[in-house]
Structure 1
Amino acid sequence: MKAWAKKLKQQILILYLAYKDERVPGYAKLFTACVVAYALSPIDLIPDFIPVLGYLDDVIIVPLGILIALKMIPREVIAQCEIKAKELMKKGKPKNWVAGSLFILIWVVVLLGVILNFPFGMGFAWPV
């Protein structure tokens, strides 16, 4: 399990580095940026406290996104980024606080929508 997690981290760093390479096509850069931002985000789209679904992104969505992104990037770019990623692995994983802030904002909007609209469907009206 630890080896799988380490390989996943390395692949995320490879994508992070490949995103910056001008040889990567625009559509691949866009997809790669989304995968890296989501993977490095301190906040998950599906919070881990939700039973079963909470870990779905960690086990299925992120690895699938990495796999698709790696297939979009030219092989020579990946080979060069693998070398750089090994060096970065020694320093630690970068955090994407912009993406994390975006996910926090999404959850706040969803929760506010639920809180403000939930009672109305049950025949309850907020006092004015």
Structure 2
Amino acid sequence: MNWWDAGIAIIGGIVLIYALLLVLLALYARKHPETVGMKEALRLLPDLLTLLRRLTADRSLPRGIRVRLILLLVYLASPIDLVPDFLPVIGYADDVIIVALVLRSVIRKAGNRPLERHWPGTPTGLALLQRLAGTAATPS
């Protein structure tokens, strides 16, 4: 096997994995139609980034949670995405899904209180974020 064959095999594997990820993303979006729409999620972006920064700096949260949040911020800042952002609608869908999964994990581990304490936006935005993360708000 020469280096051309190896290169073609690697590129083919990457394309196959990429296609599989796109299919999984589409299946997730179909299976969870109650999730937040793209426009709503993009409106949350400034408050969400402030929330992630505040949660990451909160020393009362376990280290594992803060590490997840740091990895999420690195992924969001990275120019490399599962789905390139220049693709209409679906380009940002991977970011929204990854944020939702990480937030769901963080909220399940730490509870809603840190989220509510550090949320810089409106109560409506917080409710939307909790819906995005698939968690219910704690009763007041």
Q: TM-score, normalised by structure 2?
A: 0.45
Question: Which structure: larger Rg?
Answer: 1
Higher relative contact order at CA 8 Å, sep ≥6: structure 1 or structure 2?
Answer: 1
Q: TM-score, normalised by structure 1?
A: 0.48
